[in-house]
Amino acid sequence: MKIIMLGAPGAGKGTQAKKIADRYGIPHISTGDIFRANIKNGTELGMKAKSYMDAGNLVPDSLTLELVMDRIHQDDCQNGYVFDGFPRTIPQAEALEEALRADGQSIDYAIDIEVPDENIVTRMSGRRACLGCGATYHTVFAPPKTEGVCDRCGGELTIRDDDKPETVNKRLGVYHQQTQPLIDFYQDKGCLAQVDGTKDVEEVFQDICELLGE
C-alpha cells in the first residue's frame, strides 16, 4: 500500500501518517527524516544535500527524488509506505510518478485531509511550547493546569514564531499556491481520497481506515 498524505500545514497529516504506518506496518517517510538520516550516515547523497542546506539553499527536486527513491528501495518498504510532505509541487509529483513507473510501482492513494484555513489558524495559534523542557500544549485542546506555566517542569510557555497567526496565514498562502494543485493532479489520476480533518483525531483515522478498506 503506497500512500501520499496531502493537506495544509496544521491539518494533521503527520499525525495520521504515523497512525497509518503503525496500523499497516509500513514506514512513515518524510523528506526531512531522509535528509537527516543520510547526512548522519555520511552517504554520498546525504553529503550532496548537506552542501545545499549549509549554503542556505533548497535541495533540488532531482536530488530529493534520488533520496526518496533510495529510501523506498529499502527492505522495510516492500509492503508499501506513506509519504508525509512529499511531493509538495506538481513538478515533484510528475517526477515521482515517472520514477515509480520506471520501477514498476504506482501510488495507491493520495489522502487529502481537508481543514478550512480558519480552523488551522485557530489550531496553530493556540499552540504553546515550554522553553525549558520542550513540552507542548494548546490553549483550547490541551491547556496547562496554570496558564503560561509548564505542568512538567514549571517553565515558561511561549508561542513559536511558526505558530503566530501572521506566519500561519503566510504558510497557508504558499500551500494554496504551490501544493493544493496536487489535489487536482491526483484527482485526475483517480487515486484521490478526501477526509474531513475537522473531526477528532481518532475519528479522522477511522475514516481513513474505512477508505483503505478496513
Read off the DSSP letter of residue 12.
S
Distance (Å) of CA 3 to CA 60, 63, 106, 131: 23, 21, 9, 36
Sign (positive or negative) of CA dihedral 77, 80, 84, 90: positive
Question: How far apart (Å, rounded) are the C-alpha atoms in residues 199 and 202?
Answer: 8
> Which secondary-structure segment (H or E) carries 98?
helix 90-102
> Which secondary-structure segment (H or E) carries 5?
strand 2-6
Positions marked active-site? 13, 88, 127, 160, 171
Query: Which backbone phi and psi does 124 adopt, to 5 degrees?
Result: -75, -35
Say which residues have a Cβ less than 8 Å from residue 206's Cβ, sequence separation at least 6: none
Read off the DSSP letter of residue 75.
G
Question: How far apart (Å, rounded) are the C-alpha atoms in residues 125 and 166?
Answer: 9
| Nine-digit cell string for 81 | 509506505
Strands 109-114, 81-84: parallel, antiparallel or unpaired by DSSP? unpaired
